Structure 1
């Protein structure tokens, strides 16, 4: 199949993010590789230049293709975000006024959670008050404020339904402990809101600390994300002193004792990883072709090209299998001679 023009590759990347929502880094890299026939791991400059070009085109619409780290699992995610700062614009018109007020109350409760865990229980979530989130001035001379009836009458059942919707749309999430935390879309879209509301920042990456560890010294305000902590203290001889006060930073549960290569795959694992990567790339290619066909003629890949691509991949796979078989036979013959 002839390579897609770069403008169509950009469109394919955006279409994948908009239709599927935020994608984890391995999935987004697989989409990029399928659209460009280039692996981002070995073509990092091309990958960066492509995102820069896409963002230049999106700037006119006040949108941005952005990456963030989900602070609950430490994974990098990519998504298209609205650069308008207020959360009402972020949530769009899908949610009603009381639903947006409920989300704002949940957001404040999560970021102000005293234990730096970045999560609240389901009971606490349902008990969030809305009356201090929406105030409408009626314009009378005494400027008295009143709440809309839809807010004052927002029932527990409506809260439960809204909570499910916010989790499904990835504005919120269930944490590994079963509590309610922020979702990937909140981490992507609300970066400016975090900064504007004086949320404490991580000493290592300078991003807002929603879920983080605090310095054991009660008089020190330093906070560090758990994944930043692993990175900072991963070296065998690295000092574990707090960057602010020098107090020794405690190890996390299950943290290795200074082994730099705990998560490094062994040599015997590499072929399996490469096989998995190739399999994932072929799967993503098939999904992109299907999505382009559904999107219409402007983005569809011609059927003849798809058939030629399938045939070429089959030939290539057969050649690789034949080559591998010959190589194995040669090694077997040599061992027998010995």
Structure 2
């Protein structure tokens, strides 16, 4: 396989430095890489770049993943480790006790019914219950570090921790294998879902992102203007969506 052109190598280094980026940011980095290397930049060539770089990355156990932010709907791109235990990525700067607490926090967030979130009080309790335990102050420092590193997001209005786009993209395989009964994919875009709506039939696995909901309801024949009912594509029950994510938590 021929080596990547210099402009693509510069773009790759920028992507690795930035982590998860929006599609628009990835295009801007591509344009800047071409300017630096005095290479021709062609608008609309990002898909080709992703394909060509992706082929080279596969040989070193990396891959380019694309998804949409569950809260904003923005298109995201990230280079991730395609093999091994992705949870090891979290371990690079933390002690063994912190890693154990982090794993428990991730598990609790992902298996907390349809809430996919965790209160700060619950997070501190996990730290105290871990063996060896982590005190409240140490757990708070760990949580702050995980937020700063982009693994968790903290909602100050609700006092709850949630998984970020980085977590969902980098830990996707780990979460799917570790907690299959809690791992759901959006019926429209097929990306994993922790924020959106679900069929109210408890036995149905249909989940839909907020940014996919309008398209889904149009597909099953619901008109928001007319307020007509329709049936879920998964179970044929009347479509009456219930919240997935923080909105499902009763306060």
TM-score, with normalisation over the residues of structure 1?
A: 0.59
Match of residue 192 from structure 2: 208
Number of corresponding residues: 225
Match of residue 105 from structure 1: 104
Deviation at 1:19, TM superposition (A): 2.1
Alignment partner of 2:12 out of 11, 14, 32 = 14
| 1:161 has 2:159 as partner | no
Deviation at 1:98, TM superposition (A): 1.4
- Aligned-residue RMSD, C-alpha: 2.8
Distance 1:99 1:82 in 2: 22
Partner SS state of residue 93, structure 2: coil
Greater strand content: 2
Kindly provide the CA deviation profile for residues 193-223 of structure 1, in whole angstroms up to 9, marking residues without a partner as x.
Answer: 2321311332223333322312123343322
Query: Contact 1:201/1:223 (CA < 8 Å) preserved in 2?
Result: yes
Distance 1:247 1:217 in 2: 7
In structure 2, list runs of 5 or more residues that go unmatched.
35-40, 224-229, 244-251
Query: Contact 1:72/1:175 (CA < 8 Å) preserved in 2?
Result: no
Deviation at 1:250, TM superposition (A): 4.2
Match of residue 184 from structure 1: 165
Kindly provide the CA deviation profile for residues 291-328 of structure 1, in whole angstroms up to 9, marking residues without a partner as x.
Answer: xxxxxxxxxxxxxxxxxxxxxxxxxxxxxxxxxxxxxx
Match of residue 247 from structure 2: none
The verdict on how the C-alpha distance between 1:100 and 1:191 changes in structure 2, with shifts beyond 3 A counting, is same
Deviation at 1:10, TM superposition (A): 1.4
TM-score, with normalisation over the residues of structure 2?
A: 0.77
Match of residue 38 from structure 1: 42
Match of residue 141 from structure 1: none
Match of residue 246 from structure 1: 236
Partner SS state of residue 61, structure 1: coil
> Based on CA coordinates, which of the two structures has the bigger radius of gyration?
1
